[in-house]
């Protein structure tokens, strides 16, 4: 049975702030297993799940395994890279499962982009430089698109209406909201009065017609 985890929203760590939430535990990589380094295994899993934005234990281990594969250097997972990726995800603070997956992709794309940048700096072959530069450009654009997607997702529930310098004359009415007008439908309707002056003008016109 999957156990749901409670994930309070945390703020960035402040220097020498003893009230700040505990940092996520380090993850140790062995040849055949992944271990969470913490005196209390359950507390360690909770802290790591909070850092990764995982909703439960299965989600936490799934994201962790994917990050381990993305941390590879020379076909071998790297603990330092993994620690950096977990720390970066924690600083972004994903708030739901969609954000958790998107942020995991973001840090993975960033790692790949930095590998390309390293290869680009280490080669003098023009053909290789062109290919690596194209890959780096695509990864950089992907990362920028992911940041934009994260911002759109976080702001999707925010709706605001701002009214400035609203002035309503006597006999008029104010409408707050979206108003759609179609030019070919706008015209004078003699059956609708538009204020006291309009009623007087319409009455005078009617009397003139009857005469």
Q: How far apart are CA 66 and CA 134, in angstroms?
A: 25
pLDDT value of residue 120: 96
Model-level pTM? 0.65
pLDDT value of residue 208: 53
pLDDT value of residue 116: 97
Alpha-helical regions (H) of 56-125: 57-70, 79-92, 97-122
Do residues 51 and 89 lie in contact, with contact meaning Cβ atoms separated by under 8 Å?
yes
Alpha-helical regions (H) of the chain: 41-52, 57-70, 79-92, 97-122, 126-155, 196-210
Sequence-distant (6+) residues with CB within 8 A of 102 are 94, 146, 149, 150, 153
Average pLDDT per consecutive 10 residues, the chain (211 residues; last block may be shorter): 48 44 86 92 94 95 97 94 97 96 98 96 95 97 98 80 58 57 43 45 50 50
């Amino acid at each position: 049975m999957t156990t749901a985890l409670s994930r309070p929203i945390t703020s960035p760590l402040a220097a020498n702030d003893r009230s700040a939430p505990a940092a996520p535990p380090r993850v140790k990589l062995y040849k055949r297993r992944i271990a969470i380094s913490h005196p209390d295994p359950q507390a360690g899993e909770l802290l790591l799940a909070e850092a990764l934005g995982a909703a439960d234990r299965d989600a936490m281990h799934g994201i962790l395994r994917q990050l381990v594969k993305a941390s590879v250097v020379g076909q071998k997972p790297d603990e330092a890279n993994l620690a950096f990726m977990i720390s970066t995800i924690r600083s972004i603070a994903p708030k739901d499962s969609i954000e958790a997956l998107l942020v995991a992709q973001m840090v993975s794309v960033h790692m790949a982009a930095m590998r390309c940048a390293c290869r680009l700096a280490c080669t003098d072959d023009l053909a290789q430089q062109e290919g690596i530069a194209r890959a780096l450009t695509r990864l950089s654009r992907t990362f920028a698109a992911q940041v934009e997607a994260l911002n759109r997702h976080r702001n999707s529930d925010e709706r605001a209406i701002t009214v400035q310098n609203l002035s309503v004359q006597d006999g008029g009415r104010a409408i707050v909201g979206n108003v759609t007008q179609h030019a070919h439908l706008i015209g004078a309707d003699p059956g609708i009065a538009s204020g006291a002056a309009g009623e007087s003008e319409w009455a005078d016109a009617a009397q003139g017609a009857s005469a």
